[in-house]
Amino acid sequence: MLPARDRLLLIHLFFFVNADDEFLIFIDRLNNIEIVARKLSTSTNFNGKKIHTQKELIEFAVEVNFPSHAIILRKSKEDFTDIHKGITDIEILKNTYEHLYSIHQSVYAETDMRAMFNPTRMKVIEKAVEKLVKKIKSTCPHCQMPGFGITDAKKGLKCSLCGSPTNSVHSYIYVCQHCRFTKEEMYPHEKTTEDPTYCDYCNP
């Protein structure tokens, strides 16, 4: 058994690996600008596993929210030649498994991450779209060009106890893609100092 501290670390790693990072880009040809939105979410059913029996197949299916979320079956993790995508029917899943196993004696199952087969991913994309729309609607105070959004974050919010700069965000920088007008939004998280818990000097 691993000590509690190591177990915590493993859980953290798991979520880090299984993250859904969605990028959306809006190309405004009229104004010749590109507006980008990103949504990073740990909400994902992303998974893949070598399957040896029908029992393992069913366990995997339950784990990844089949049949609302589709499954892909293929010969092995490295081999894409005999691939069956978008399976959402239990009979087809079992039959495809038996078919692959009889030919290759090996089956690899994974989640189908194509958005139309994956409602969890659709939800994250929906959030990314909301962010994109908000950014498109945000206009430059100087030239009114759309897509006026955060381009950089300045760290260094001061510790409330010793006044040293911390890694927390001090301000957001907005730059207009068209006229380069720059705005600095101070203390975006509505606090002017950081808790000493996050200070490298007070709490190393």
What residues make contact with Zn ion under the rule CB under 5 A? 140, 142-143, 145, 159, 161-162, 164, 176, 178-179, 181, 196, 199, 201-202
What sign does the CA torsion over 93, 96, 100, 101 have? positive
3-state secondary structure of 85: strand
Q: How far is the CB of 153 from Zn ion (least distance, A)?
A: 20
Q: What are the beta bridge partners of residue 110?
A: 48, 72
Minimum CB separation from Zn ion for residue 190, in Å?
20
Residue 48 or 165 having the CB closest to Zn ion: 165
CB of 150 to Zn ion, least distance (A): 15
Q: How far is the CB of 148 from Zn ion (least distance, A)?
A: 7
Cβ neighbour number for residue 198 with a 10 Å cutoff: 14
- For residues 67 and 196, which CB has a smaller minimum distance to Zn ion in the complex? 196
Task: State which residue, 58 or 175, has the beta carbon closest to Zn ion.
Answer: 175
* Contact status, residue 26 vs residue 115, Cβ threshold 8 Å: no
Q: Which is nearer to Zn ion, 103 or 162 (CB)?
A: 162
Q: Which is nearer to Zn ion, 111 or 146 (CB)?
A: 146
Is the peptide bond preceding residue 67 cis, with omega within 30 degrees of 0? yes
Q: How far is the CB of 164 from Zn ion (least distance, A)?
A: 5
d(CA 60, CA 93): 11
Burial bucket for residue 35 (CB in 10 Å: 0-12, 13-18, 19+): buried
